[in-house]
Amino acid sequence: MKILVTGGAGFIGSQVAEAFLQEGHEVHIVDNLATGKMENLPQAAVFHRMDIAEPEVVALIEKEKFEVICHHAAQIDVRKSVADPLFDARVNILASLNLVEHGLRNGLKKVIFASSGGTVYGEQVSFPADEAHSLKPISPYGITKLSFEHYLYYYHTCMGLQYLALRYGNVYGPRQNPHGEAGVVAIFAQKILSGEQPFINGDGKQTRDYVFVEDVVTANRAALAYSGSGSFNVGTGIETSVLDIFDAVRDAAGSKLERKYAPAKVGEQSRSVLDHHKIKSLMGWEPRTDFKTGIQKTVEWFKHKS
């Protein structure tokens, strides 16, 4: 198949693109390199440096007539979405609609969308959350992710577009960006390996569902092969606290740094964990990488990168 991977120079998108290439598909990558990196690009992919909101991407879609769009390009920083909801909506809703609208006019059959299980449910009332959990996001980022899922359902129902909205937990692993606010594993790994003291926001007992990037890639491969449509959690079903993250990264790095704390971030969710039984029953996917192994692989990558 001919596949467009948006955000394919990024942490997750580049590794998904590699997997699609290994399966023999023709892969094109669109990335504006705002956060993505040239070094992440698979050599066999066709790279187009452009923004998904700009007219150039329309011309590309009209020329190449992609069968599948695997959509990972996004504004991913929850705190930035709070600071600038308009920018967040322009990138995560309007630019995404730009892809689908023009794709459907040019032979698009399927969209695999990187959604967010960590934000679309809001403050959870049951643990772990399955896909039937109430959807009450408390950040503009979560709102935009859920909004685009609704648009995909509309395109599916009214226009026959097949879609898979993969609601990722907190993805971590090699190639994750340690700069900015996103990705506490990467932030801790980079700082601890350089001997810099990282700080734990609040009491560190807030939990998330941390899923290793290799397992997320496998979920995308399963989604590409799946003939149905819908929204699916991609997580481990295990809650891991920030304290657990700090200790695991510190131990893997062989550091003796002590825990140090900073004020809690306003509006931060206290707990988030995902039930993955739906994707397991329908696609046969489940996480294969245990937390300790994933942290070790991640820290080793950061060691060799530095």
Q: What is the mean pLDDT of each run of 10 residues along the chain (306 residues)?
A: 98 98 98 96 98 95 98 89 92 96 98 97 96 96 97 98 98 91 89 96 96 98 98 98 98 97 85 98 98 98 89
Q: Write the CATH number for 261.
A: 3.90.25.10
* One domain for residues 177 and 159: no
Q: At what angle do helices 55-64 and 95-104 cross, to 10 degrees?
A: 30
Establish whether 226 is a catalytic residue. no
Half-sphere exposure of 173 (CA within 13 A, CB side): 22
pLDDT value at residue 182: 66
Total domain count, the chain: 2
pLDDT value at residue 305: 86
* One domain for residues 202 and 147: no
* One domain for residues 145 and 246: no
pLDDT value at residue 20: 99
* One domain for residues 203 and 251: yes
Q: Write the CATH number for 42.
A: 3.40.50.720
pLDDT value at residue 266: 74
User: What pTM was estimated for this model as a whole?
Assistant: 0.97
Instruction: Determine the structural domain holding residue 261 and report its residue range.
Output: 172-207+239-273+289-305
Q: What angle do CA 39, 42, 112 make, to 5 degrees?
A: 115
* One domain for residues 177 and 78: no
| Structure-block tokens of residue 257 | 């740094």
pLDDT value at residue 77: 81
- The answer to whether 115 and 147 have CB atoms below 8 angstroms apart is no
Give the model confidence (pLDDT) of 171-220 as tens digits.
Answer: 999 999 997 656 899 999 999 999 999 999 999 999 999 999 999 999 99
pLDDT value at residue 51: 94
Q: Is the peptide bond before 128 cis (omega within 30 degrees of 0)?
A: yes
* One domain for residues 150 and 200: no
* One domain for residues 156 and 245: no
* One domain for residues 68 and 85: yes
* One domain for residues 163 and 192: no
- DSSP code for 199: -
pLDDT value at residue 240: 98
Residue 73 CB-density burial (10 A; 0-12 exposed, 13-18 middle, 19+ buried): buried
Name the E strands within 32-74.
46-49, 68-71
Calculate Rg over the CA atoms of the chain. 19
* One domain for residues 14 and 103: yes
* One domain for residues 200 and 126: no
Residue 110, strand partner residues: 68, 162
* One domain for residues 79 and 42: yes
**From 141, 151, 155, 172, the catalytic residue:** 141
pLDDT value at residue 265: 82
pLDDT value at residue 269: 84
